[in-house]
Amino acid sequence: MTLSRVQVSLDGTRDYEVLVGHSLTGTLADRVRALCPNAARAFIVIDDGLPELARANLASALSRRQFATAGITIRPSEPDKSLETLDRVLVAIAESRHERRDPVIALGGGIVGDVAGFAAATYRRGVPVIQCPTTLLSMVDASVGGKTGVNLRTPDGSLKKNLVGAFHQPRLVVADISLLSSLPDRQLRAGMAECVKHALLSGQFGDPTLLPWIESSAPAILSRDSGTLAELVSRNVAIKARVVAGDEREEAESIVGGRALLNLGHTFGHAIETLPNLSPTGQPTDAPLHHGEAVALGIMAALETAVSYRVASPSLRDRVGSLLSRLGLPTKVRGLPPSDRVLELMGHDKKVQGGVLRLVLPHDGGVCIVKDNPSLAIVLGAIDSIRV
Ligand code: GLY
């Protein structure tokens, strides 16, 4: 199986590669040594759901490349994506006598990558980070683009997603497709929500056939055909890389472009995700929603809004709804609180600027636009449309 390399082009000095291929973790230590020739130490932040052997193998490979290693495991849950966990990671890094040129290596899903990346951004005002995503969601989205951070628990007890963080681009991203063979089904499906999101933007970012390709490849993706997964990850990373190259810090003001487009489905999704009792199947034991499940619901609400504004056709909404269902993702949810409560939660999202609600709306033809100050009646109707 060939290795594909996707370049994330920034300013020429911080550009980096995303490697997509099979059994790449075996050569990770060599790659880290090549990137950090003068480093004495490496610090591994690892998902506590991964086998101890994964950490031990990486640590011994790093030792063979003359790195003194230390590490910490973290629990990949939204409540654990916290300032307390960040503090624990930073103290452990400091205790390992980590210096400025020494890399932090994140081995895990999006939560591990975000916390490790934020620790690397802030420890001694910035040390190198290498992202080694182990979930589909982190391969196609979270590990690429340099967003790092934690959630903030406010005195009223609610969780403000990713409210505290920093942009800190990795030096390298290594997406080892072999790791997807043991990923739980629910996590694989959740990652597909971000792929469908990219497909709805893909006409603007050089891959207009991504949506039909995902539709025709869904059975091969779900049965984890390795070549199909490698193509899925490379094509999605390429879209993410183009978006980030054009607007690294989500500053573009234009309504037709910029990194804000990646928030498609996320303003609705983040609000829904903060509701701990929602479940993708309706079974309480499956609560809470995974991030990708909330994004799938958010994409459907965004499509409904777009249909109300006549920028998307009902057939696009139904086509995407049917794809999400085939991928095993929810398109409606039981137990949603009153729509004005969900709207209020959306107002807490960090993507609200100057009190203005900003939504990303899909158009027919693989493009999206940013809509500021949408009609509240339309937004409330869209929330109702995803209610069982
Ligand atoms: N996940 C959205 C972004 O990276 O901008």
Q: What is the pLDDT of residues 13-50, one digit of tens each?
A: 999 999 999 999 889 999 999 999 999 999 999 999 99
The mean pLDDT of 223-243, rounded to a whole number, is 97
Distance 95 CA to ligand 1 centre (A): 32
pLDDT above 90 covers what percent of the chain?
A: 89
Distance 169 CA to ligand 1 centre (A): 12
And the tokens for 269?
Answer: 């999704």
Distance 114 CA to ligand 1 centre (A): 11
- The confidence score (pLDDT) of residue 217 equals 98
* Residue 259 is a catalytic residue: yes
Q: What is the mean pLDDT of the chain?
A: 95
Residue 252: is its pLDDT beyond 90?
no
Is 197 close to ligand 1, i.e. is its CB under 6 Å away? no
DSSP 249: T
Residue scoring higher pLDDT (54 or 184): 184
The mean pLDDT of 120-125, rounded to a whole number, is 98
- The confidence score (pLDDT) of residue 348 equals 65
Residue 352: is its pLDDT beyond 70?
no
Which of 133-147, 242-256, 351-365 holds the top average pLDDT?
Answer: 133-147
What digits encode the pLDDT tens for the residues 151-208? 999 898 888 889 999 999 999 999 999 999 999 999 999 999 999 999 999 999 999 9
* Residue 98 is a catalytic residue: no
Which distant-in-sequence residues (6+ apart) come within 8 Å of 229 by Cβ? 136, 177, 180, 221
Is 262 close to ligand 1, i.e. is its CB under 6 Å away? yes
- Measured distance CA(120)–CA(361) in Å, rounded: 34
Residue 349: is its pLDDT beyond 70?
no
H or E element that contains 133: strand 129-133
Kindly name the residue from 161, 162, 189, 194 that is annotated as catalytic: 194
- Measured distance CA(173)–CA(19) in Å, rounded: 6
Is 259 close to ligand 1, i.e. is its CB under 6 Å away? yes
Shortest-distance atom of ligand 1 to CA 259: 5
**What fold characterizes domain 185-385?**
Dehydroquinate synthase-like, alpha domain (1.20.1090)
- Measured distance CA(242)–CA(258) in Å, rounded: 10
Residue 350: is its pLDDT beyond 60?
no
- Measured distance CA(274)–CA(288) in Å, rounded: 9
Same fold, 4-182 and 185-385: no
Domain residue extents for the chain: 4-182, 185-385
- For residue 142, which phi and psi values (nearest 5 degrees)? -60, -35
What digits encode the pLDDT tens for the residues 305-338? 999 999 999 999 999 999 999 999 999 999 999 9
Residue 8: is its pLDDT beyond 90?
yes
- The verdict on domain 4-182 having CATH code 3.40.630.10 is no
Task: Give, using CA atoms, the residue closest to atom 3 of ligand 1.
Answer: 262
Query: pLDDT confidence of 96, banded at 50, 70, 90?
Result: very high
* Residue 270 is a catalytic residue: yes
- The confidence score (pLDDT) of residue 174 equals 97
Cβ pair 308, 284 in contact under 8 A: no
The mean pLDDT of 76-83, rounded to a whole number, is 94
Q: Where is average pLDDT lowest: 18-22, 215-219, 345-349, 356-360?
A: 345-349
